[in-house]
Structure 1
Amino acid sequence: MSFKPVTHVLFDMDGLLLNTEDLYTIGFQKVASRYGKEFTFSLKCKIMGQQSKEFASIIINELDLPLTVDEFLTEIRKVFNDLFPQCRIMPGVEKLIYHLHRNNIPMGLATSSSIESYELKAGRHQKLFDLLPFKTWGTSDPQVKNGKPSPDIFFVAANKFPDKPVNEKCLVFEDSINGVKAAVAAGMQVVMVPDPRLDRSLATEATLILDSMEEFQPELFGLPPFGNY
């Protein structure tokens, strides 16, 4: 399969840069368990990449929870305040981001998280996230009208690069089906690094699917190969 050369890179965060998707599962199950419900992997796949009010509404409806969206978010924030500071960087992430930084490749963050949630997650890893100077927090940014799978967040994120690249020159890294659909809708190529449990036949729109960020070869997309410092 042939890929088109790119000049700019956009990263999702949860489940892609950080292992926070594991923590989301723990947190959602804690709340669901209070009402005798199970937060399943199929439900998780539906909400991955969405903004907070969007995923809260879906979870409430799917699990028939006796909560409003605001009540659910209040409960879940209490859980996440303890969980998120424990998050870890995913394999291969530091190597790639430091490599692209050394080669002056413009990079940005395009996460559906709120800025408050981001600060909890990124607190211990600020040195790494400082290398992504152009950040978009979907839940907190009024310009991002709709969450993934709508392309809004990637249009907004790409527009933050000072040289305003055309969308076709932006490469997105994602872990969710909603994120892949959003990137494709934005006219961007997308490398997917999904949860190993995901049925990959559901992600046919992805430009490339990898088991780990460690497998990524920058030169496939016209980026400097590893070791080119």
Structure 2
Amino acid sequence: MAEAVVFDMDGVLVESEHLWEELWTAFAAERGATWGPEQTRNCQGMSAPEWAAYLTAFASGGESPQATEQAVVDGMVHALEQGRIDLLPGARAMVAEAAACAPIALASSAPRRVIDGVLVHHGIDHHFKATVSSAEVAHGKPSPDVYLAAAAKLGVPAVDCLAVEDSSNGLRAAAAAGMTVVAIPNPQYPPAADALAAARFTAADHDAVRRYLISRLKEGDRA
């Protein structure tokens, strides 16, 4: 039975993982460093302060991690304003229908500016009872901190929550929080086998995930 749903954002609600990679790559290149797939994998799931420290050290550009974070986040906000951060097909219906059945939250590695901007831009902010950025907890994914904080804000035990994720560290974080993990594997950044193994349900499209979420939430209603 499930009482709530906690969604990731990048790669689950919006197509944006490639933009983070694009901005990290450009930042490093401007400072003479070559960013590659390994560095992207290392940063996926990190909070903004964590990846900013990693990127600053990697690029050796002399900026502070805070300045690095601001430069990259400014780039993401600009991309949103340009219409480059689209909702994934089926994401709007998935969120709206889940919210009609139970309280929903967001647990994202994105910084607060990007979370709020994306949800408001796409007109889905009103569906969420709580949103948490991993910058607002002690550790980013794969630590469970952001998922536990989201469940606490909803007032629902983590074990009674469904969590929807796409990436390796996100899947690991949701599983570590004790949530029932639902996976929408990102085809561009496929999750590791061990992370995917933690999922109770896996599907390639949002409609299938939407149907699964609703079935689990309706089971809870009957209980």
TM-score if structure 2 supplies the norm length? 0.84
* Alpha-carbon contact 2:182-2:202 (below 8 Å) kept: yes
Please give the alpha-carbon distance, in whole angstroms, between the structure 2 residues aligned to 1:159 and 1:74: 29
Change in 2 beyond 3 A, CA 1:159/1:199: closer
Match of 2:38 in 1: 42
* Alpha-carbon contact 1:20-1:84 (below 8 Å) kept: no
Match of 1:124 in 2: 121
Match of 2:129 in 1: 133
Match of 1:105 in 2: 102
More helix by share: 2
Match of 2:18 in 1: 22
Map 1:1-229 onto structure 2 (within 5 A): 5-61=1-57, 63-67=58-62, 68-85=64-81, 86=83, 87-102=85-100, 104-126=101-123, 128-139=124-135, 141=136, 144-161=137-154, 164-197=155-188, 198=190, 200-203=192-195, 204-216=197-209, 217-218=211-212, 222-224=216-218
Please give the alpha-carbon distance, in whole angstroms, between the structure 2 residues aligned to 1:221 and 1:200: 27
* Alpha-carbon contact 2:161-2:180 (below 8 Å) kept: yes
Please give the alpha-carbon distance, in whole angstroms, between the structure 2 residues aligned to 1:195 and 1:219: 19
Shift of 1:36: 3.2
Please give the alpha-carbon distance, in whole angstroms, between the structure 1 residues aligned to 2:40 and 2:183: 17
AA in 2 matched with 1:114: P
What stretches of structure 2 of length at least 5 have no aligned partner? none
* Alpha-carbon contact 2:9-2:108 (below 8 Å) kept: yes
CA RMSD of aligned residues (A): 2.2
SS, match of residue 37 in structure 1? coil
Please give the alpha-carbon distance, in whole angstroms, between the structure 1 residues aligned to 2:156 and 2:23: 38
Shift of 1:19: 1.2
AA in 2 matched with 1:66: G
What stretches of structure 1 of length at least 5 have no aligned partner? none
AA in 2 matched with 1:222: R
* Alpha-carbon contact 2:159-2:179 (below 8 Å) kept: yes
Please give the alpha-carbon distance, in whole angstroms, between the structure 1 residues aligned to 2:207 and 2:44: 22
AA in 1 matched with 2:8: D
After TM superposition, which residue ranges in structure 1, 4 or more long, deviate above 3 angstroms?
none
AA in 2 matched with 1:155: L
Shift of 1:170: 0.3
Please give the alpha-carbon distance, in whole angstroms, between the structure 1 residues aligned to 2:177 and 2:191: 23
Shift of 1:173: 0.7
* Alpha-carbon contact 2:142-2:170 (below 8 Å) kept: yes
Please give the alpha-carbon distance, in whole angstroms, between the structure 2 residues aligned to 1:211 and 1:200: 15
Please give the alpha-carbon distance, in whole angstroms, between the structure 1 residues aligned to 2:125 and 2:218: 21
Please give the alpha-carbon distance, in whole angstroms, between the structure 2 residues aligned to 1:69 and 1:55: 9
TM-score if structure 1 supplies the norm length? 0.82
AA in 1 matched with 2:61: P
SS, match of residue 149 in structure 1? coil
Shift of 1:158: 0.5
